[in-house]
Amino acid sequence: MVYSRTTPRQRAWAQDAGRWLALGAVVAPILFMLGAFLLAPTHPGYSIVRQQVSALAVGPHGELMRSLFLLYGVLVTVGTMAVFVGLRDELGTISRWTCAALLSLSPLGVLWCGVFTMDQWTLHLIGVQVAFTPIVLTLPIAGLLLRRAPNWRRFGTLMILGGPLTLGLIIGLVTSIPQSQMLTGGGTFGLWQRALGGEVFTWFVALGWLYFRHSRRAAAGSPK
């Protein structure tokens, strides 16, 4: 019987590929926030204070904002998976795939919002809920699991604290205006939504960047 085994060169190539794929979790949130900022003035009557980012995905240049939703969903999901695949030497299989599955819910929710825009409000709201509600629990769970890896202990502790922070921002968002106005926006709803989105996005940026940095150092110190 012939067994297929990966060579050191193949393993090194896989590690390099995973390291660069993880950067998707860094680049996509930055592109999303930058794109939303640049597209706001091209949308007549739009207010970043009163209205959510999703409103930019309908009307003038809506296809550009929808593309950013989809790009974010794909790149951050792939980047998150690449991070936890690469942590095979630091975390057990169950821990790695639990983290990957739970954290991937958020970018998949954003992707859903790009497919079903505010024109399909009920379906769009499902994506919003998946993107921002479960992460109140998934951040602390992933943080507790990451604390088992020596290189990730400090970041894991911060992720645990991220749960209450996200919950506070959600409460601020939903109480900023009456529920009946959430479709049209008002008050400071847009600012609260950006604060919540920016906070959640930051966790993925940090996750991807820390993995890229750690894996690059490991590769530099490994024997050739």
Reported as a single tens digit per residue, the pLDDT across 25-35 is: 999 999 999 99
Residue percentage of the chain with pLDDT more than 70:
91
**How many CB atoms neighbour CB 139 within 10 A?**
26
The model's pTM: 0.90
The size of the chain, in residues, is 224
Q: What confidence tier does 5 reach under pLDDT thresholds 50, 70, 90?
A: low
With a cut of 70, say whether residue 4 has pLDDT above it.
no
Query: How buried is 88 (Cβ within 10 angstroms: 0-12 exposed, 13-18 middle, 19+ buried)?
Result: exposed
Reported as a single tens digit per residue, the pLDDT across 162-204 is: 999 999 999 999 999 998 888 888 999 999 999 999 999 999 9
Query: How buried is 65 (Cβ within 10 angstroms: 0-12 exposed, 13-18 middle, 19+ buried)?
Result: buried
What are the residue boundaries of the structural domains of the chain, listed by start?
Answer: 18-213
What is the reported pLDDT for 96? 94
Q: Hey, which bits of 145-185 come out as E strands?
A: none
Reported as a single tens digit per residue, the pLDDT across 84-118 is: 999 988 999 999 999 999 999 999 999 999 999 99
Work out the mean pLDDT of the chain and round it to a whole number. 90
CB 191 within 8 A of CB 49: yes
Residue with tokens 């680049």: 27
Spatial separation of the C-alpha atoms in residues 201 and 37, rounded to whole Å: 15
Spatial separation of the C-alpha atoms in residues 68 and 113, rounded to whole Å: 11
